Amino acid sequence: MARVYLGPAGIPITLRQRKKNAGTADAVSYVREIGLNAMEVEFVQGVRMSRESAREVGEAAKEAGVRLSIHAPYFINLCSEEESKVRSSVERLRDSLDRGNTMGASVVVFHSAYYGKLGHDVCIKKVGDEMRGLIGWMEDNDISVKLGLETMARESQLGPLEEILDLVRSLSSPLVTAVVDWGHVYARNGGSIDFARILDEWSTALPGEVLHSHFTCVKFRNGKWVDEHEPLDAAAPPFEPLAEELGRRRELTVSIISETPLIEVDALKMRDILERYGNELATAEANGRKR
């Protein structure tokens, strides 16, 4: 059975209904109250949290025993032909890493690049070079939160699992990891997914690490699967086969962030399904800097 960190991407919907001005620190406490143990802080529209607020969020998470992660802004492209856009992307990542480190988050997830006119090989090299620069900056500034390269849905984006794992291995740094978005993998593969193979490949490449992942269902539109989020009941991909496969993995610790439109409601459904196959929620022992 796997040990699981499970929670929503962002402030829970039911908390906002209860308290319209609920903040991230409120959300962390609420996540524990409803029986979950992880939350991803959403910086997707920009890093608008001060260091002091990040410190308060971290304190709330430590008290509640909630594992934090961050999703960096969407406006990142390390392969842009315009150098100013690359530099702006790096600054957004630095800001995200700084706040993540301050709050004690485990990983900052980001979408790295579009291949664009530079092409596949040049783009991968450029992303690697930019990430090496970020790693150096992290080391110089005592940043210990990981930088997480996410698998992507669109063929125009850097992001098949094998490509992400190869890039992470080539960087040879404990400050970098691979993040699996199960819905993205499903969409990129044309509506199919082999959970066992993905878990095997990830565990072989990054043994002993916590597998950070996102789960949402995606939509079939205009003859193809696209990265438009759907509720868990859409079953595209189905969650139960993943829960069953995780139940066979005694040595694995995994974090699953619900990115469906019903973020915490579906996370609770995921919890029940996971427990049905013998998985258990991880305890506060592995919170914070557990990798």
What pLDDT digit, counting tens, does each position of 109-119 carry? 999 999 999 99
How distant, in Å, are the alpha carbons of 65, 195, 205 from that of 286?
Answer: 9, 24, 21
- Residues 227-255: tens digit of each pLDDT: 999 999 999 999 999 999 999 998 999 99
Residues 23-46 have a mean pLDDT of 97
Residues near 243 by beta carbon (within 8 Å), at least 6 away in sequence: 270, 273, 274, 276, 277, 279
Residues 7-19 have a mean pLDDT of 97
Confidence of residue 284 (pLDDT cuts 50, 70, 90): low
Q: What percent of the chain is modeled with pLDDT above 70?
A: 97
The rounded distance, in Å, linking the Cα atoms of 210 and 253 is 5
- Residues 89-131: tens digit of each pLDDT: 999 999 999 999 999 999 999 999 999 999 999 999 999 999 9
Determine the pLDDT at residue 149: 98
The rounded distance, in Å, linking the Cα atoms of 209 and 225 is 30
Q: How many residues does the chain have?
A: 291
SS3 assignment for 48-88: CCCHHHHHHHHHHHHHHCCEEEEECCCCCCCCCCCHHHHHH
Confidence of residue 164 (pLDDT cuts 50, 70, 90): very high
Confidence of residue 166 (pLDDT cuts 50, 70, 90): very high
Confidence of residue 283 (pLDDT cuts 50, 70, 90): confident
Determine the pLDDT at residue 287: 41
Res. 275: pLDDT tops 50: yes
Nearest to 180 by CA among 167, 158, 191, 165: 165
CA dihedral for 13, 74, 116, 145, sign (positive or negative) = negative
Nearest to 258 by CA among 274, 280, 245, 277: 274
Confidence of residue 291 (pLDDT cuts 50, 70, 90): very low
